[in-house]
Amino acid sequence: LAIASAMYHTGRNPLKRVRRRGDAMPVPRGLRQRRLHKAFLRYHDADNWPLLRQALKRMGRADLIGNGRRHLVPAWQPAGTGGRGGPERRPLAAGGRGNRTIRSGGRSGRRGRQGRG
């Protein structure tokens, strides 16, 4: 994790010799670019396919969109996928906090059984 942090904050690759006037490494800092990188890493997730199709067309790689073995993203979108936001959440109970675990103050289980024999 330290190497990844160094790469992100300096924009240099610490795995190679770092020079003062060395080439800068591109770092995805914007939200849009970071989401795109994450979508490419998770290309198998159907929720990322619309974003990937759009990006591949912009890059001139529409040949990777299709339904064959050579394609990265299918041309069709399954029903119920590709929406914005995270998973749907159930509304909370009338109390507002939902279910909570109640813990007892003492130890649970039986004690004093170690010395039997």
The domain spans of the chain are: 1-29, 42-84
Spatial distance between the Cα atoms of 66 and 74, rounded to a whole number of angstroms = 5
| pTM of the complete model beyond 0.85 | no
CA atoms lying within 13 Å on the CB side of residue 1: 0
pLDDT in tens, the chain (117 residues): 788 888 888 888 888 887 777 778 888 889 999 999 999 999 999 999 999 999 999 999 999 999 999 999 999 888 877 655 445 556 655 656 656 677 666 665 555 556 555
Q: How many residues does the chain have?
A: 117
Backbone angles phi, psi at 65, to 5 degrees: -105, 120
State CA 108 to chain mean position distance.
38
Residue with tokens 């299709």: 66
